[in-house]
Amino acid sequence: MKTVSIVYFSGGGHTTKMAEAVVAGARSVVGINVNLLAISGDDITKGRYVNDALFAQLDASDAIILGSPTYMGDVAGQMKCFLDAGGSRWYSRGWVDKLAAGFTVSGGPSGDKLHTLQTFFIFAMQCGMVWVSHNEMPGDPNGKNRLSSYSGAMGQAGQEAPDVAPNAADKSAGVALGARVAAAVLRWNR
């Protein structure tokens, strides 16, 4: 069995819905074990994120999919604290050659959320990971790439309840990304 971990932060529950969609996609691939790991602000003290158990699960993973809402055009502060803690894995080179991918949710159709995916991408590159794209064609408002993103899966949700937004199309983007990463893990580790 290969393991795909989805590690994410959600302040209001919308990104949780995307994370659950990514989990469903990864679980649809035979031979894949899936972890869903939420970042909690309770694990941040004086700006430092500490959760050894969560990092141990990521160390044992073959792929790590990163998710965050877009806050002020970037990852949420809680996620940034987690990424900074991941600097220990940059130093140890412990995550070299793991697969990586990302997803985000923002209120606007753009909302500058590409920048959130780019933050994840740069983190993954610094750690020597291998980035998996979101390989879905755009153009269908009900399709798997409604928001035309190739760097990762995007969803849109503002003031609506998390049960309403991100909508079914955006969640299908999450499902597609999870399945793509899971299939890629099996090929990468053949």
Ligand X SMILES: Cc1cc2nc3c(=O)[nH]c(=O)nc-3n(C[C@H](O)[C@H](O)[C@H](O)COP(=O)(O)O)c2cc1C
Closer to ligand X by Cβ: residue 65 or 127: 65
Binding mask 55-94 for ligand X (x = CB under 6 A): --------------xxxxx---------------------
If one asks whether residue 10 binds ligand X (CB under 6 A), the answer comes out as: yes
Which range of residues in 13-21, 37-45, 55-63, 79-87 is near ligand X by CB under 6 A? 13-21
Q: Specify whether the CB–CB gap between 133 and 97 falls below 8 A.
A: no
Nearest to 25 by CA among 190, 185, 187: 185
Which residue in 5, 106, 119, 151 binds ligand X (CB under 6 A)?
Answer: 106
Which range of residues in 53-61, 80-88, 106-114, 131-139 is near ligand X by CB under 6 A? 106-114
Which residue in 51, 90, 107, 167 binds ligand X (CB under 6 A)?
Answer: 107
Q: Specify whether the CB–CB gap between 50 and 85 falls below 8 A.
A: yes
Binding mask 18-57 for ligand X (x = CB under 6 A): ----------------------------------------
Q: Which residue is nearest to ligand X (CB)?
A: 111
User: Which residue ranges make up the site for ligand X (CB under 6 A)?
Assistant: 10-15, 69-73, 105-108, 111-112, 157-158
